């Protein structure tokens, strides 16, 4: 298994990006991912009850169909709380792209990120689509990974290559994160492309299991987005023996897990205004849910996060957060350890001594700069 | 019904305060409230599963007894996560006070607030207790209200007087708030003294109902304290006809509600680092619980709070918070109104159009100063 800290497109995928004018200053703001052949998919969306229009469009499409050719993504506008017009705009984007690529509407997934409650400048996107389609190339990822960013300060990208029966399989993932990051289902935009040949059920199962301990274990500000999506396309172009169960499935999950976990960590490291990367290891829980409850209660505590920012060993705030989680930890059973606070990466170990489950939750500190960025963002 | 913006002790109550040395710079840090006669009580405590030692001591005492003579409170040390020693220290305080006042141990309630995880300097408190007992006076509230403060910048106090069958009844309340304020049961220290003669069941019911729409509707930082307590003592010295049900109960609840709501608002106004006082009116909910869920989801959103601080009309963050509450509000049903943001007091109206319940939730903005205060507090 080889890990590359950059996005390398798997066999049969292309990408491209353009500056459509949604963002100012001629910044890249629309990205396209494209598979030469039909790809299986697995998608997870936000559980927010005010989902954005593209999520509604995708959900409707996924009812009858799990095979796709392309994903189109824009940044700068979330197309959320935009009513029927938002749906019309998202569907219009899909139709225009289908025409430009010569594929069916139902072969396209769509995602948006940015400001909520403003109408999509869909004319700008429609104008950009032919350019986007013409621009597709095997090296397009270098621009596409930039085009999906909002307040991110660096592109989040990773590739894992591994061997199945002599065939090299590639899994490549990119993500946008930065703010409104909290753990319920997926919590950001994540696009994963693989040339693996894998059974539909196995793909679904693999994504669910990898997300549980990666994207669902990350929190920046406890704020759940309306646009969260994790999308995987698997086009089979690696020509490996079909991955279904057993050893090959385990290898695939291991590789996908690296992709998800590394992207989740990058998202946390690039949290708005953050100066610390904090890893909270919860052990001794009765089950994963309980472990995550305790970990996230700590990770979402503004008081804990400000203490970490201030390099202030106020461990009472960890105690209060454990208690606020609702998990009935006994005071005498709670053991805590915190690594030196002057470092950029901090490890918090919390043992609640109730069982054998454990989890690692990732978060950042709460800083005056987080407040400043979000006081001004519009 | 007359409202006074200061603490006026009801008939038969005395108070006092001393600087015991728990806090530096000779600051007042222990307060005592005392009733000349046995008083009925109603108490609500935090639901945090890591409650402080004084809460455990009170709970044990309340199992067999709801009548009290005194409440002793210290600031500067929460006596939480202090194990068996913490219990010994809290019980020692109770015993020493019982001796000094010549009353039974079981007639005393105890409360602490301050840093978590440090042993109580109980020798200092024991030394202070005789002075505290000797200092009891009808004007002692002026110092006692200061002694319970931690990072509060002003004392929270209110008195309501009303007439029951020709007798004047007084309800007086003081509170400490500032940080670690979130709504699950009581969320701060609140002491309410009244000379009303009221049936035990009526007192319990009145406190529960008043807390539901006051202290349980306030959030500063979503962090639930280990020491939250609301304590009411009612000593009957007003000699009114016993309040039980009917009109007299309604008048009592109305007065108690003013006390609770005004204290809750003062706590919010004095939130750590706050520059805005924000009132969120949720209407059109199916029931109180649903209304509060939506209101608190908005009030606890760091993104909403930073937008308020920045006077930034980023209403998408309200939409995202409504959706994150889990209440299945339909996009077309959601109506929002926000008063001008340049003002110090902001009103947010959110109608979710599902039913007839409503609630008002109180919160503050999230500011760089909140981060600074809590990065340094220890």
CA distance B204 to B201: 5
Determine the distance in angstroms separating the CA of B102 from the nearest CA of chain A, rounded to an integer: 34
Which residues is B232 bridged to in the sheet? B42, B192
Query: At B374, is the secondary structure helix, strand, or coil?
Result: helix
Query: Best mutation site among A316, A322, A367 for testing chain B: the one with the most B CBs within 10 Å?
Result: A316
DSSP code for B243: B
Determine the distance in angstroms separating the CA of B35 from the nearest CA of chain A, rounded to an integer: 33
Q: Model confidence over B127-170: pLDDT tens digits?
A: 999 999 999 999 999 999 999 887 778 888 989 999 998 999 99
Closest Cβ opposite residue B309 in set A48, A317, A371: A371
Determine the distance in angstroms separating the CA of B304 from the nearest CA of chain A, rounded to an integer: 9
Cβ of residue A307 closer than 8 Å to a chain B Cβ: yes
Per-residue HEC secondary structure of chain A comes to CEEECCCCCCCCEEEEEECCCCCCCCCCCEEEEEEEEEEEEEEEECCCCCCCHHHHHHHHHHCCCCEEEEEEEEEEECCCCCHHHHHHHHHHHHHHHHHHHCCCHHHEEEEEEEECCCCCCHHHHHHHHHHHHHCCECCCHHHHHHHCCCCCCCCEEEEEEEEECCEEEEEEEEEECCCCCCCCCCCCEEEEEECCCECHHHHHHHHHHHHHCCHHHEECCCCCCCCCEEEEEECCCCCCCCECCHHHHHHHHHHHHHHHHHHHHHHHHCCCCCCCEEEEEEEEECCHHHHHHHHHHHHCCHHHHHHHHCCCCCCHHHHHHHHHCCCCCCHHHCEEEECCCCCCEEEEEEECCCCCEEEEEEEECCCHHHHHHHHHCC
CA distance A173 to A7: 7
Which residues is B109 bridged to in the sheet? B71
DSSP assignment of B42-105 equals: EEEE---SS--HHHHHHHHHHTS--EEEEEEEEEEE---S-HHHHHHHHHHHHHHHHHHHT--G
**A170 or A176, higher pLDDT:** A170
pLDDT in tens, chain B (378 residues): 999 999 999 999 999 999 999 998 899 999 999 999 999 998 888 777 778 899 999 999 999 898 999 999 999 898 988 889 999 999 999 999 999 999 999 999 999 988 878 899 999 999 999 999 999 999 999 999 999 887 778 888 989 999 998 999 999 888 887 655 554 433 478 788 899 999 999 999 998 888 877 777 766 666 666 677 778 889 999 999 999 999 999 999 999 988 888 888 887 787 778 899 999 999 999 998 899 889 988 988 888 989 899 998 878 788 888 888 888 888 889 899 999 989 999 999 999 999 999 988 888 888 998 888 878 866
Task: Look at domain A277-376 and name its CATH class.
Answer: alpha beta
Q: Model confidence over A241-299: pLDDT tens digits?
A: 999 999 999 999 999 988 888 888 887 787 778 899 999 999 999 998 899 889 988 98
Report pTM: 0.78
Question: Which of A315, A313, A306 is closest to A334 using CA atoms?
Answer: A315
Per-residue HEC secondary structure of B103-115 comes to CCHHHEEEEEEEE
DSSP assignment of B192-226 equals: EEE---B-HHHHHHHHHHHHHTTGGGEESSSPPPS
For A237-275, letters b (16+ CB in 10 Å) and e give: bbebeebeeeebbebbbebbbbbbbbbbbbbbbbbbbbe
- The answer to whether B303 contacts A374, with C-beta atoms less than 8 Å apart, is yes
Q: Model confidence over A333-346: pLDDT tens digits?
A: 989 999 998 999 99
CA distance B261 to B297: 20
- pLDDT score, position B184: 42
Chain B contacts of A120, Cβ < 8 Å? none
Confidence of residue A378 (pLDDT cuts 50, 70, 90): low
- pLDDT score, position B319: 84
- pLDDT score, position B187: 41
Burial class of A342 by CB neighbour count within 10 A (0 to 12, 13 to 18, 19+): exposed
Confidence of residue A183 (pLDDT cuts 50, 70, 90): very low
Task: For this complex, say whether ipTM is above 0.85.
Answer: no
Chain A contacts of B51, Cβ < 8 Å? 323
A186: pLDDT strictly greater than 50: no
Question: What CATH number was assigned to the domain covering residues B2-269?
Answer: 3.60.70.12
Taking the domains of chain A in order of start, what are their residue ranges?
A: 2-269, 277-376
CA distance B28 to B24: 9
- The answer to whether B371 contacts A372, with C-beta atoms less than 8 Å apart, is no
- The answer to whether B320 contacts A225, with C-beta atoms less than 8 Å apart, is yes
- pLDDT score, position A342: 92
Average the pLDDT over each of A221-225, A349-353, B196-200, B359-363 and give the range with the smallest value. A221-225
Query: At B304, is the secondary structure helix, strand, or coil?
Result: helix
Query: At B373, is the secondary structure helix, strand, or coil?
Result: helix
Cβ of residue A336 closer than 8 Å to a chain B Cβ: no
């Amino acid at each position: 298994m080889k890990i590359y800290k950059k996005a390398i497109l798997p066999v049969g995928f292309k990408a491209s990006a353009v500056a459509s004018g949604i963002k100012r200053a001629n910044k890249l703001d629309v990205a396209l991912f494209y598979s030469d052949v039909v790809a299986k998919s697995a998608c997870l969306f936000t559980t927010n009850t005010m989902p954005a229009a593209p999520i509604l469009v995708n959900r409707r499409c996924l009812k009858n169909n799990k095979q796709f050719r392309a994903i189109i993504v824009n940044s700068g506008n979330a197309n959320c709380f935009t009513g029927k017009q938002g749906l019309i705009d998202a569907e219009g984007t899909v139709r225009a792209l289908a025409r430009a690529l010569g594929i069916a509407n139902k072969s396209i997934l769509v995602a948006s990120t940015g400001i909520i409650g403003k109408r999509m400048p869909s004319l700008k996107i429609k104008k950009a689509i032919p350019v986007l389609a013409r621009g597709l190339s095997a090296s397009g990822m270098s621009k596409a990974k930039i085009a999906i960013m909002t307040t991110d300060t660096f592109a989040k990208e990773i590739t894992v290559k591994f061997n199945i029966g002599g065939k090299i399989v590639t899994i490549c993932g990119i993500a946008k994160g930065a703010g409104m990051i909290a753990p319920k289902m997926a919590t950001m935009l994540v696009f994963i492309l693989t040339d693996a040949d894998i059974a539909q059920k196995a793909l679904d199962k693999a994504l669910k299991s990898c997300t549980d301990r990666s994207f669902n274990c990350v929190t920046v500000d406890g704020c759940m987005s309306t646009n969260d999506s994790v999308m995987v396309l698997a086009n089979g172009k690696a020509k490996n023996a079909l991955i279904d169960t057993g050893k090959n499935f385990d290898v695939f999950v291991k590789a996908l897990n690296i992709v998800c976990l590394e992207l989740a960590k990058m998202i946390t490291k690039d949290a708005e205004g953050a100066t610390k990367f904090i890893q909270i290891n919860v052990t001794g829980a009765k089950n994963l849910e309980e472990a995550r409850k305790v970990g996230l209660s700590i990770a979402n505590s503004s008081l804990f996060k400000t203490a970490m920012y201030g390099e202030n060993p106020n461990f009472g705030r960890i105690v209060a957060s454990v208690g606020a989680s609702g998990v009935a930890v006994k005071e005498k059973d709670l053991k805590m350890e915190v690594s030196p606070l002057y470092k950029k990466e901090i490890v918090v170990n919390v043992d609640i001594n109730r069982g054998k489950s454990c989890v690692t939750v990732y978060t950042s500190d709460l800083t005056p700069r987080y407040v400043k960025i979000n006081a001004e963002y519009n």
